Amino acid sequence: MRNTEWVTGIAVFTGHETKIMKNSARARPKKSKVEIITNAYIVMTIFIQGALCLTAALFNAFWQKLQGEEFSYFEFPAKGSPEFIPIYYQIFISFGTWFLALMNFVSISLLVTLEMVKFFQAMFISYDWMIFDVEKGMEAKVQSSNLNEELGMIHYIFSDKTGTLTQNIMEFKRFSAG
């Protein structure tokens, strides 16, 4: 087909079963370690809040049943009357009440504060005149603020077989110590 002047063709199938679509992988969103830990703590806090609400709802329902008519805030209808409320319904209502009362237990403002800090970090990086490549004439440009916390962290140090880097670091420590 390279040596032909023109070719007539028709696309038979161009959906998700084509080779290019099967070989393309979705890019997974990048999350910093701080964001991962924060999300885990929020889920743990929600489970703790649910356990507290369930415990409080059970105690509240049983306390109301024990108080009976002496509990002046509510009237408890007799078991045969149409206004009778079963205990599981009282537990359900009490759970919802406690959940709303303890809603500030899960701090959504923590996530908002983290996002604001990331935004201001990105602004400071963008406006920092010290981060400027003179050879290319480019300043720092923040494309995403998701990984601000990961900047500048050293995970691996490579050196040659002789350990020259290690020796230099040790000599620097001896020199700086006195």
- Hey, which residues are catalytic here? 160
What the block records as the tokens of 129 is: 């005149």
Q: In whole angstroms, give the CA distance from residue 134 to residue 126.
A: 15
Q: What sign has the CA pseudo-torsion 159, 160, 162, 168?
A: negative
What CA–CA distances, in Å, run from 164 to 41, 169, 174, 175? 43, 9, 15, 16
* Closest to 59 in 3D by CA, of 20, 26, 90: 90
Q: For 117, what's the count of Cα atoms within 13 Å in the CB-facing half-sphere?
A: 11
| Torsion angles phi and psi, residue 93, rounded to 5 | -65, -45
Amino acid code (one letter) for 44: M
Q: In whole angstroms, give the CA distance from residue 125 to residue 117.
A: 12
